[in-house]
């Protein structure tokens, strides 16, 4: 399995809209679910800085995610543009191989 983590600083007045877009039932997940190989999205909010969030998106493989990005490039770009106003900053924390998927 493959996962990537994004960190976001959310506009102070946009927390609800951000959670609606990036949460487990949000617009991003709806788009991801259209692709084979998507597994899950988790949204976390920092306990000390209530405007700081991270998402962890998990896919069956890096190749599955790359195929999604190619096939859904246009709707991805459109959603990304719509969500820009929700954040002050976003940064890719990193890409990871899942070490223990629970099957061992």
Q: Where are the domains of the chain?
A: 2-97
For residue range 24-52, what is the model confidence (pLDDT) as tens digits?
A: 999 999 999 999 999 999 999 999 999 99
- The helix-helix angle for 73-83 and 15-22 (nearest 10°) equals 160
| pLDDT band with cut points at 50, 70 and 90 for residue 99 | confident
pTM of the predicted model, to two decimals? 0.90
2-97 CATH fold = Alpha-Beta Plaits (3.30.70)
| pLDDT band with cut points at 50, 70 and 90 for residue 53 | very high
């Amino acid at each position: 399995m493959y996962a990537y983590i994004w960190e976001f600083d959310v506009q102070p007045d946009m927390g609800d809209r951000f959670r609606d877009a990036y949460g487990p039932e949000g617009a991003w997940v709806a788009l991801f679910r259209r692709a084979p190989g998507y597994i899950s999205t988790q949204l976390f909010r920092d306990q000390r800085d209530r405007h700081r969030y991270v998402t962890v998106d998990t896919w069956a493989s890096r190749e599955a995610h790359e195929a999604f990005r190619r096939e859904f490039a246009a709707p991805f770009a459109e959603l990304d543009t719509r969500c820009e106003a929700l954040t002050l900053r976003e940064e890719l924390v990193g890409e990871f191989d899942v070490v223990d998927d629970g099957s061992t």
